[in-house]
């Protein structure tokens, strides 16, 4: 039995996948101390699609980096799948805005990367990569190198790469922020479809309210100085989501007020 299977079998059914208890983080730099996260307590169940929304500087990236295992929190603790985090793991797939692909590897080799690290057989890796390239809508891009792909295509490959080891948690930090509006909305639809089919738990950071309302089953709104959670809202909009629906606009106004934005009356 490999470690991953053991981890899953030790996780009680019904236990939240993520549990953060009074999580706090302070950055100490030459220019002083910044309380990036005050004291955050949060649980996320398996299969939830959570968007974390808030203005720049409210600690969204810090929270994601703690969950990814890139940053060790100064206070409190976090458990994923019933275990403390000690460094990055293929159990937690990460996609960042500029989390670039390995430029010297083809798209397929990028997708296979985590599987290769885990010692999976070549044939099995190729099959998984082939299926995932299809899932992200790029069935013929396997032999291409990153420099031959558009920004949107690269992000799809990055999503496929993160999904390849079948992580129980997908951590995404403004992954579509640098893309044009059309590419962005097509990737949003793709991600909703992936979530429907594969049911990973997703924590998706954005500062775009409409994006959060298109994607999330639950919305966590954060505020800065110190970074904290100010709202935790279940998004009950039916899918596919329509930006013109009255309830969509109601939620939009509500969230905009929560983050202190003026909206047109
Ligand atoms: N490596 C760092 N060193 C010092 N301060 C940092 C560092 N990373 C983030 N911060 C500060 O911590 C706060 C939260 O940052 P961050 O988590 O990146 O927020 P967000 O992703 O919501 O914009 C900000 O005030 C930011 O300037
Ligand atoms: Mg950020």
pTM of the entire predicted model: 0.90
| pLDDT at site 63 | 97
| pLDDT at site 98 | 78
Token digits of residue 213: 């309302």
Pairing type for strands 218-223 and 49-53 reads parallel
pLDDT tens digits along 116-170? 999 999 999 999 999 999 988 999 999 999 999 999 999 999 999 999 998 989 9
Q: Is 34 in the pocket of ligand 1 (CB under 6 A)?
A: yes
Which DSSP string do the residues of 39-55 spell out, in sequence order?
EEEEEE-TT-EEEEE--
Positive or negative torsion for Cα 255, 256, 260, 265: negative
Q: How far is the CA of 123 from the centre of ligand 2 (A)?
A: 38
Q: Is 206 in the pocket of ligand 1 (CB under 6 A)?
A: no
CA distances (Å), 164 to each of 112, 120, 134, 189, 204, in order?
7, 11, 12, 19, 18
| 94 neighbors 85 (Cβ within 8 angstroms) | no
Q: Is 60 in the pocket of ligand 1 (CB under 6 A)?
A: yes
Q: Which of 23, 36, 175, 223 to mutate to test the pocket of ligand 1 (most atoms within 8 A of CB)?
A: 36
162 vs 112: CA distance, rounded Å: 10
| pLDDT at site 99 | 61
78 vs 101: CA distance, rounded Å: 28
Which DSSP string do the residues of the chain spell out, in sequence order?
--HHHHHHHHSPTTS-SEEEEEEEEEEEETTEEEEEEEEEEEEE-TT-EEEEE--TTSSHHHHHHHHHTSS--SEEEEEETTEE--S--TTEEEEETT----TTS-HHHHHHHHHHHTT--HHHHHHHHHHHHHHTT-TT-TT--GGGS-HHHHHHHHHHHHHTT--SEEEEESTTTTS-HHHHHHHHHHHHHHHHHH--EEEEEES-HHHHHHH-SEEEEEETTTTEEEEEEE----SS--TTSHHHHHHHHHHHHHTT-----
Q: Which residues, in sequence order, are CB contacts of 61 under 8 Å at separation 6+?
A: 173, 205
| pLDDT at site 71 | 95
CATH 3.40.50.300 describes domain 28-91+167-265: yes
Which atom from ligand 1 is nearest to the alpha carbon of 65? 17
| pLDDT at site 25 | 97
| 92 neighbors 169 (Cβ within 8 angstroms) | yes
Task: Supply the angle between the helices 122-135 and 107-117 in degrees, to the nearest 10.
Answer: 130
| pLDDT at site 90 | 84
Domain boundaries, the chain: 28-91+167-265, 103-166
Q: Is 70 in the pocket of ligand 1 (CB under 6 A)?
A: no
Q: Is 145 in the pocket of ligand 1 (CB under 6 A)?
A: no
| pLDDT at site 12 | 54
Nearest C-alpha neighbor of 115 from the set 171, 80, 163: 163
Per-residue confidence of the chain (265 residues) as pLDDT tens digits?
A: 344 433 343 445 568 999 999 999 999 888 889 999 999 999 999 999 999 999 999 999 999 999 999 999 999 999 999 999 999 988 899 998 876 799 999 999 999 999 999 999 999 999 999 999 998 899 999 999 999 999 999 999 999 999 999 898 999 999 999 888 988 888 899 899 989 988 999 999 998 999 999 999 999 999 999 999 999 999 989 999 999 999 999 999 999 998 876 554 4
| pLDDT at site 13 | 59
| pLDDT at site 30 | 83
| pLDDT at site 5 | 38
Q: How far is the CA of 129 from the centre of ligand 1 (A)?
A: 34
| pLDDT at site 182 | 87
């Amino acid at each position: 039995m490999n470690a991953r299977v053991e981890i899953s079998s030790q996780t009680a059914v019904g236990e939240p996948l993520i549990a953060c208890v009074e999580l706090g983080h302070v950055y100490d730099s030459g220019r002083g101390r910044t309380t990036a996260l005050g004291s955050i307590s949060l649980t996320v169940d398996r299969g939830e699609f959570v968007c974390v929304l808030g203005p720049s500087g409210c600690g969204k990236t810090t929270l994601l980096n703690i969950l990814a295992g890139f940053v060790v929190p100064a206070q409190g603790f976090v458990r994923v799948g019933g275990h403390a985090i000690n460094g990055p793991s293929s159990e937690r797939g990460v996609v960042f805005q500029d989390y670039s692909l390995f430029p010297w590897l083809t798209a397929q080799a990028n997708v296979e990367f985590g599987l290769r690290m885990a010692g999976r057989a070549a044939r099995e890796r190729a099959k998984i990569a082939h299926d995932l390239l299809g899932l992200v809508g790029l069935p013929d891009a396997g032999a291409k190198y990153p420099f031959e792909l558009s920004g949107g295509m690269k992000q799809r490959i990055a999503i496929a790469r993160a999904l390849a080891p079948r992580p129980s948690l997908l951590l995404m930090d403004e992954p579509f922020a640098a893309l044009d509006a059309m590419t962005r909305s097509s990737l949003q639809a793709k991600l909703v479809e992936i979530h429907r089919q594969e049911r990973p738990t997703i924590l998706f950071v954005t500062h775009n309210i409409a994006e959060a309302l298109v994607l999330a089953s639950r919305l966590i709104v954060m505020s800065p100085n110190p970074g904290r959670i100010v709202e935790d809202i279940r998004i009950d909009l039916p899918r596919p989501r329509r930006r013109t629906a009255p309830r969509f606009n109601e939620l939009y106004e509500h969230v905009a007020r929560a983050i202190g934005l003026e909206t047109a009356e």
